[in-house]
């Protein structure tokens, strides 16, 4: 139901919630995913109605989006544009379906273009880049098991049709409202956040989330020091005026700067823990990942399912590669497998 931001802990509850002047939050379900929902933001302005993020194309989500918009007397066909923060399916894949249904224009960061084109070329769900990293981490058996499972998942090429426009960072109008697109690579190569220049809100996508740190290292294409880019992107936001956070998952509100500092502190601790795991030397990424705990519940690696083990290993490699870039860890290769050791004895 329409009304103020819900006071319950369940931010995923169906509805259309006002969160800023002319902005409403619409949670859309993410079946079989621990995050449970993604926030789609409906933005009203002098040029009509636009969405920031589209949602995941699963049965019922387009109808749920339509019902939610009707709560604020907006018809689905009144949506003229969809600005997607990044290429992950829970943000992008409902966009092409909405375009087919209404003619709405779809916009995505230019940095995501190689990834979209790679998906289009492959024509399946196999995360080839991540499987390659599993092998680099010494987890070839997991890659051999998981690869065919993911490749055989249902794939619909229509979900990955190209956007109408590839967005570059800089000024833009969202429903006629002045905003700025800011490039924040890390979670994905082409992630954008959108600053509302009139209200002081920042649509943060998955770059800054209120209670979790987004996954780093599960990306398309060539490995490109993703954690290093993510940390640089966080620091970039601290150089800009603070804003109120409108995230893609979780409750809106709160200071972007405050949350960015928490995320930076988290990764300092995580880098320290990762470095500590290399103390014995000659450690594979898989061995380091097994020595760490995962999620906010500090779960052991072996309690994760195969997909989340892949995410954990990729994130471990992302941290190890930053430590290598900083010169505190060395990497030596035996075939395709990297082995890590500290460059000096740790106190």
How many CB atoms sit inside 10 A of residue 327's CB?
9
pLDDT at 245: 98
Is the pLDDT at 6 greater than 50? The verdict is no
Give the 3-state DSSP-derived string for the chain, with helices as H, strands as E and coil as C: CCCCCCCCCCCCCCCCEEEECCEEEEEEECCCCCCCEEEEEEEEECCEEEEECCCCCCCCHHHHHHHHHHCCCCCHHHEEEEEECCCCHHHHCHHHHHHHHHCCEEEEEHHHHHHHHHHHHHCCCCCHHHHHHHHHCCCHHHHHHHHHHHHCCCCCHHHHCCCCEEECCEEEEECCEEEEEEECCCCCCCCEEEEECCCCEEEEECCCCCCCCCCCCCCCCCCCCHHHHHHHHHHHHHCCCCCEEEECCCCCCCEHHHHHHHHHHHHHHHHHHHHHHCCCCCEEHHHHHHHCEECCCCEEHHHCCHHHHHHHHHHHHHHHHHHHHCCCEEEEEECCEEEEEECCCCC
What percent of the chain shows pLDDT beyond 90? 86
Which among 36, 37, 35 has a CA at the least distance from the CA of 25?
37
33 compared with 14, residue with greater pLDDT: 14
**In the chain, domain spans:** 17-263, 266-342
Each as own residue / partner, the long-range contacts of residues 178-181 (CB below 8 Å, 24 or more positions apart, any chain) are 181/83, 181/109
The whole-number average pLDDT for the span 206-216 is: 94
pLDDT in tens, 255-306: 999 999 999 999 999 999 999 999 989 999 999 999 999 988 889 999 999 9
pLDDT at 346: 52
What topology is assigned to 17-263 in CATH? Answer: Metallo-beta-lactamase; Chain A (3.60.15)
Choose the weakest-confidence range: 77-81, 137-141, 143-147: 143-147
pLDDT at 124: 85
The whole-number average pLDDT for the span 239-245 is: 97
pLDDT at 7: 45
Task: Say how far apart CA 331 and CA 321 lie, in whole Å.
Answer: 8
CATH number of 266-342: 1.10.10
pLDDT at 8: 53
Q: With cut-offs at 50, 70 and 90, classify the pLDDT of residue 1.
A: very low
What percent of the chain shows pLDDT beyond 70? 96
The whole-number average pLDDT for the span 176-192 is: 97
pLDDT in tens, 123-134: 888 888 999 999
Model pTM score: 0.94
Q: Name the average pLDDT for the chain.
A: 93
How many CB atoms sit inside 10 A of residue 49's CB?
24
Q: With cut-offs at 50, 70 and 90, classify the pLDDT of residue 326.
A: very high
Question: Which residues in 16-41 are b (16+ Cβ under 10 Å) and which e?
Answer: bbebbebbbbbbbbbeeeeeebbbbb
pLDDT at 345: 59
Same fold flag, 17-263 and 266-342:
no
Q: With cut-offs at 50, 70 and 90, classify the pLDDT of residue 223.
A: confident
């Amino acid at each position: 139901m329409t009304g103020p931001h819900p006071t319950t802990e369940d931010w995923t509850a169906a509805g259309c919630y006002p969160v800023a002047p002319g902005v409403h939050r619409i949670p859309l379900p993410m079946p079989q995913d621990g995050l449970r929902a993604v926030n789609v933001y409906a933005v009203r302005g002098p040029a009509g109605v636009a969405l920031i993020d589209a949602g995941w194309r699963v049965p019922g989500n387009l109808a749920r989006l339509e019902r939610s918009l009707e709560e604020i007397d907006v018809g689905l066909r009144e949506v003229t544009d969809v600005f997607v923060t990044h290429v992950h399916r829970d943000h992008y894949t409902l966009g092409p379906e909405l375009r087919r249904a209404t003619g709405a224009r779809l916009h995505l960061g230019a940095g995501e273009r190689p990834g979209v084109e790679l998906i289009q070329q492959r024509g399946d769900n196999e995360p080839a880049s991540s499987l390659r990293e599993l092998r680099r981490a010494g987890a070839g058996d997991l890659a051999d098991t998981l690869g065919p499972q993911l490749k055989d998942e249902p794939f619909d090429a229509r979900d990955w049709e190209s956007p109408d426009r590839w967005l570059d960072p800089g000024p833009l109008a969202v429903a006629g409202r002045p905003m700025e697109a800011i490039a924040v690579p890390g979670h994905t190569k082409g992630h954008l956040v959108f600053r509302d220049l009139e209200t002081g809100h920042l649509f943060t996508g998955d770059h800054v989330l209120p209670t979790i740190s987004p996954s780093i290292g599960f990306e398309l294409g060539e490995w490109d020091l993703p954690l290093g880019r993510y940390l640089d992107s966080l620091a970039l936001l601290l150089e800009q005026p603070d804003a109120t956070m409108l995230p893609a998952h979780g409750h809106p509100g709160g200071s972007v700067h405050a949350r960015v500092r928490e995320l930076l502190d988290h990764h300092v601790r995580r880098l320290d823990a990762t470095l500590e795991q290399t103390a014995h030397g000659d450690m594979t990424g898989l061995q380091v990942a097994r020595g760490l705990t995962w999620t906010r519940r500090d779960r052991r690696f072996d309690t994760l399912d195969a997909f989340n083990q892949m995410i954990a290993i990729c994130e471990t490699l992302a941290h190890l590669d930053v430590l290598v870039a900083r010169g505190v860890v060395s990497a030596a290769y035996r075939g395709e497998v990297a082995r890590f050791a500290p460059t000096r004895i740790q106190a």
